[in-house]
Structure 1
C-alpha cells in the first residue's frame, strides 16, 4: 500500500515524533498504532450489544436497552438489581 501524507500542526508532529522515538518506531507506525486503538462507532455498538447480551444471558439482567442508555450509573444499577434479586431468593432465618 502506498504511503499518504496527512497535515497536522507542528506541535502534533513533534508529539508524534517524540512518541515514536520513545517506542523505537516511526511516526507512520505510531499513527497506525494510535488509530488501531480507537474503535469505530460500529465497533463500539457491537461491543455494547455483546455486553448486554452477556449480561442478560449469563447474569439474568432484565433491564431494557432504554434503561441501560439512561446514564453513567449503569453499573451501580446492575449491582442494585443483582443484590435485590439475591435478597429475594434468600429466605430469612428464624431465630430459635
Structure 2
C-alpha cells in the first residue's frame, strides 16, 4: 500500500509541475553551451519599512556538467501551495482574454 501511495504522490507532483509549466507559474530560461556564468536576480522584501531590494547572485557552472546536457534555469520559482490551482486558472483566464482582444 505504501508503494502505491508513493507512486500516486509522485504522479500527482509531476502533474502539478506540468500544469505549473503550462500556466506560467514560473519562467524557464534555456542555457546555451557558451554560458559560463548565470546571473539570477532575487527580490527580497525588508519587513521593517516594506521596501524591495534587488540582489544579484552569480553562479559559476562547471563545463563538464554542461557537456552531458543543458538544463533549464527556473526564474521566479514558487513552491506549489494550496492556491496553485486558483492562480493557474487566473493566469489562463488572463491569457485567454488577451488573445481574444487581439
Structure number with bigger Rg: 1
Please say whether Structure 1 and Structure 2 have the same fold, judged by a TM-score greater than 0.5: no
User: TM-score scaled by structure 1?
Assistant: 0.39
Higher relative contact order (CA 8 A, sep 6+): 2
